[in-house]
Amino acid sequence: MELISIIIPIYNVSKYLNRCVDSVVNQTYKNIEIILVDDGSKDNSGEMCDKYQEEYSNIKVVHKENAGLGFARNTGLEYVTGKYVIFVDGDDYIQKDMVENLYNDLKKANADTAIGGFRRVYSDREVVVANKFVGNVYEGDDVPKEVLVRMVGKKHNLTDYIEMSVWKVLFSMDIISKYNLKFPSERVFISEDIIFDTEYYRYAKRVVMSGDTGYCYCDNEGSLTTKYRSNRFELQKTLYLEMVKRMKELNLYNESKQRLMTTFISVTRYCVKLEQKFANENGKKKAKENIKAICNDEVLQKAFSEYENNLVPIKSRFINNLIIHKNTKLLYDFMALKNKFNI
């Protein structure tokens, strides 16, 4: 059994830390090292990590100044000695056979990378999101064409999407080390995962799609994806423009163009929804001003001018049309209904 490293960035997650680390400690695959990166936690997460290090010989703890999730993962990579690496977020957890399942599928396919599915865990239910391409193996030039392109977004109402994330994946440290791959800061690119993916999958030689669904992604209150951020749309726009540039560099822009736009437009709708949702806190006038600024954005309107909007589901198309025609009043009112009835 080859050594597998598991990097867990930790920041103010004392409420969830035991659940996460215990799930990793109790894996059926035993030849693992666990690297806990305390990213300047202000609660007692750091002390909890130190206790784990005292109890388990295969746990390393690194304390650092807060710099965000992406940089915490980079710090963890500096301490890795395993042949493969898995990333687990500190407020999530994994099922006991996840590492074993990914590793077995990787070895059977003679691959360097294994991508699984996951479970989305809510307070009252659990939704299994299986990898739609279980059993498929992609080699050489087909890796970016068949894997990376599907990660950048859905194409209208098609279901051939591969969930973009670095958790639920068994990565090759040989590739990461050889090409000195690093995560950017999520404070620059709101999704550091897809930026890393555009680097990694251009070098992966053989990727297998695993049937494992052992990663439990938790919909915890106050997570980065659900909190209000005044610059969320600008960050999403920055990411979109960066991804356009990167896919052009990889000669994959034509295949990914509509997918990139779908993602950008989808998160734009979400940004508008959050503006209305937090209108009571930020002020209705400010919320409406922000929605108007989003609708007037030149990059967004240019994307819409080239987007096949007639092919998207009708509810999304309706909201898209309100944005295209800059109907901010109706857009605000419609989002108020969506937020009120949680639809």
Q: Where in the chain is the domain with CATH 3.90.550.10?
A: 4-218
* pLDDT tens for the 343 residues of the chain, in order: 899 999 999 999 999 999 999 999 999 999 999 999 999 999 999 999 999 999 999 999 999 999 999 999 999 999 999 999 999 999 999 999 999 999 999 999 999 999 999 999 998 899 999 999 999 999 999 999 999 999 999 987 677 899 999 999 999 999 999 999 999 988 888 889 999 999 999 999 999 999 999 999 998 765 555 678 899 999 999 999 999 999 999 999 999 999 999 999 999 999 999 999 999 999 999 999 999 999 999 999 999 999 999 999 999 999 999 999 999 999 999 999 988 888 7
- 38 near 62, Cβ under 8 Å? yes
pTM score: 0.93
Architecture of domain 4-218: Alpha-Beta Complex (3.90)
